[in-house]
Structure 1
């Protein structure tokens, strides 16, 4: 049995950075990964998919270039082999950089294989036993495959496997109208496919406010993406070389390709968690407290597998919390994290804090302000006026409760509000800021001055 100071199971966006901190301090650590370093973000998430989004944006911009006075002589074609190769290069370069960086630590052992907890301090990998007083689980999640009737009789893609597609589908049917599904829907529509999105909920993006959901649907429909909501009773069968999707009794959609984007399942079912006494919830997520400690002293769960965040930035923040508490003598808590994220359709949606609906249900005295992007000079200049900006605040405490920026640069613009919320700055202190013109962010003081009870 080999002894370590710490064992890390999984090499996503939390574990490797904490392992590196410990190794840099001279601690002996083992980092175990069953497949690729970097987790979902590097290999099947943010990096390759946003590279594809960038290619899709370039195709869309080329098609509307004439409205800017830029004339192409000939049709706009998309070479998916080049698109795919570009995304693969981004992933491989990032993976190589991680491999070289982690391999530079003398006191770190990077082990490839499947890790199994034998007890609270012992991990078995490649038939060898490792032991440590501290174990960190960072195994991420995978696409969920529901037990739909007929699903195992048809070919389908997940958000991972569709990255290997090197041609444009004739008709891509997307099951799931949330963040992942909508990004791929718009992307492949811009590549030239016919696209249909089918969502079980009453609207797309069910976690967002109605006005956000409706605006996103309108953006997608304006580009030719068909949508169906309140769908139920799914079943699937082969239709020649494609697939037939039946839902809501007798509604049929025939597609050449099928993408399942209906959520993610934590990779916790084959780790031997029961042998170590680590508790999971009814969805398979590892239960953690405010310091990311599991039900077993000396075992932590970081990243997507703890169900407390589903993004690269929340996973990395799990590392920051753990490092601060374990190595820096700090007392950082998970509950202090301000929720923020983005939807990478074009234009993107940047979100932070409460939705308007959540704020209303909280019982607070709320103020709301909104402005369409058609009244934002920067958006008009760029010819990208879809969407709107919305700010929600507490009338009593003068604190910003939340914001939505659906529009050009929304994923970057939202950081002004993230920073203000992090610093606890009342909106009254921001009202007379002098932002740069012409930008989208310059509208925040105007939004603040326009806050009204709703």
Structure 2
């Protein structure tokens, strides 16, 4: 029996730093990874997609260069070069993370699939064909999520794509159909539209980004319309089939009636599901919800208090930075004797469309539901000096303010550098800086963030 102080299952954005810190603190630690170091973020999430988005933006800017007085007669999308650059950067990040693990004392990296035999023991089917049992005093689950595949008639009979397999295609799709209008679907929609694809999005709700405020949804919908992306809302895919080398799609448009279209590629972007089914959790006291996400307390402990869950596998906001913060909560508590928990975390996030959507805290709908007496500050990006100068006037700045304390409750920024502007407001929220203080603050001219003065003058 291989005995450890700690076993971490999954080398994602929580698992890697957690394993390194536990080992550095003198814990005999094992890190089990079935695929590749770095998890979704490095291998088929943040790193590859944002690398490709940078190429797509270059194509977009080349296409509108006349607006800025620069005449580019023509440009060519070299998709192989884009994908090679993406793969090189992914490899660089993955190898860097792997090297860091290999250089960590007290840490053993095991490549294979782990399954619980009992609450303290894992059976590992190794990638080299061998297998062994491992036991530990504490076990940490960081297995993440995988694309959810809906039950659609004919889907399994066509060569559909997921957010993972789309990153390995060899040519730009002629016509990409995207099922689902979540952040993953919207980023890929704009990315491939800019690289030359015809793009159609099918979304069952009545608008893009149904969890955002109406005005934010309207602005983003207008941007997608301007970019030539067709969006079918209140619509579901009824069936798919191959006909003469094309995918034939039947749609149920609800009140709009049935419709159909042909496309070359189908991307399933209808959410993600936790990787818990193969973990053997039935051999432990760990409890999952109806969707398979592991239930944890505010210190990330499962029903088996020596077993913890971090990152997407526990449900809640599925962001790399949340996963990373999970490991900080655990290491602060276990190694430094602190009493950190996840109950009052501020959750920022950014959708990397162009312009970006940066979001933090409450939106207006949430403030209204909570019965808060609030104010709304809002200005369009067309009124932002730097946006005008940079020809980046699409978007909106919006903030929610507590009427009595004047503190910022949340913000939504659609605009060039929207995520960076949102982060300025997040820092203000962390420091309890009021809207009035920002309104009268001195910010360097002409930054995008300088218009936070004007934003709060709109109250």
Stretch deviating more after TM superposition (419-428 or 111-120): 419-428
Structure 2 Cα separation of the partners of residues 172 and 427 of structure 1: 43
TM normalised by structure 1 equals 0.97
Aligned to 2:446: 438
Does structure 1 residue 154 correspond to structure 2 residue 162?
A: no
- Choose which of 211, 228, 231 in structure 2 pairs with 1:227: 231
Does structure 1 residue 92 correspond to structure 2 residue 91?
A: yes
Structure 2 Cα separation of the partners of residues 407 and 277 of structure 1: 47
Residues 196-221 of structure 1: CA deviation (Å, up to 9, x unaligned): 11111100111111111111111111
- Choose which of 425, 434, 440 in structure 2 pairs with 1:417: 425
- Choose which of 365, 370, 374 in structure 1 pairs with 2:373: 365
Structure 2 Cα separation of the partners of residues 404 and 312 of structure 1: 19
Structure 2 Cα separation of the partners of residues 191 and 185 of structure 1: 10
SS in 1 for 2:337: coil
Aligned to 1:325: 333
Structure 2 Cα separation of the partners of residues 438 and 157 of structure 1: 43
Structure 2 Cα separation of the partners of residues 223 and 233 of structure 1: 23
Structure 2 Cα separation of the partners of residues 70 and 440 of structure 1: 23
Structure 2 Cα separation of the partners of residues 11 and 187 of structure 1: 28
Unpaired runs of 5+ in structure 1?
none
Contact 1:287–1:295 (CA under 8 A) maintained in structure 2: yes
- Choose which of 167, 171, 174 in structure 2 pairs with 1:170: 174
Stretch deviating more after TM superposition (423-432 or 382-391): 423-432
Aligned to 1:274: 282
Structure 2 Cα separation of the partners of residues 149 and 89 of structure 1: 38
Does structure 1 residue 390 correspond to structure 2 residue 401?
A: no
Shift of 1:425: 2.8
Residues 129-166 of structure 1: CA deviation (Å, up to 9, x unaligned): 11111100000101110011111111111010000012
Shift of 1:369: 1.1
Does structure 1 residue 46 correspond to structure 2 residue 46?
A: yes
Contact 2:48–2:90 (CA under 8 A) maintained in structure 1: yes
Structure 2 Cα separation of the partners of residues 192 and 315 of structure 1: 34
Contact 1:390–1:405 (CA under 8 A) maintained in structure 2: yes
Structure 2 Cα separation of the partners of residues 254 and 134 of structure 1: 52
Structure 2 Cα separation of the partners of residues 250 and 238 of structure 1: 19
Contact 1:309–1:315 (CA under 8 A) maintained in structure 2: no
Aligned to 2:355: 347
Residue correspondences, number: 450
Contact 2:237–2:249 (CA under 8 A) maintained in structure 1: no
Shift of 1:429: 3.2
Residues 182-208 of structure 1: CA deviation (Å, up to 9, x unaligned): 111111010001111111110011111
Structure 1 Cα separation of the partners of residues 173 and 15 of structure 2: 37
Contact 2:379–2:458 (CA under 8 A) maintained in structure 1: no
Question: CA-atom RMSD, angstroms?
Answer: 1.1
Aligned to 1:196: 200
Aligned to 2:455: 447
- Choose which of 186, 191, 211 in structure 2 pairs with 1:187: 191
Aligned to 1:308: 316
Contact 1:37–1:99 (CA under 8 A) maintained in structure 2: yes
Aligned to 2:128: none
Contact 1:117–1:272 (CA under 8 A) maintained in structure 2: yes
Contact 1:244–1:252 (CA under 8 A) maintained in structure 2: yes
SS in 2 for 1:326: helix
Residues 290-338 of structure 1: CA deviation (Å, up to 9, x unaligned): 1111111100000000002201111001011111111112111111211
Aligned to 2:135: 131
Structure 2 Cα separation of the partners of residues 428 and 346 of structure 1: 30
Unpaired runs of 5+ in structure 2?
126-130
Structure 1 Cα separation of the partners of residues 199 and 274 of structure 2: 29
Structure 1 Cα separation of the partners of residues 391 and 443 of structure 2: 21
Shift of 1:233: 5.5
Aligned to 1:205: 209
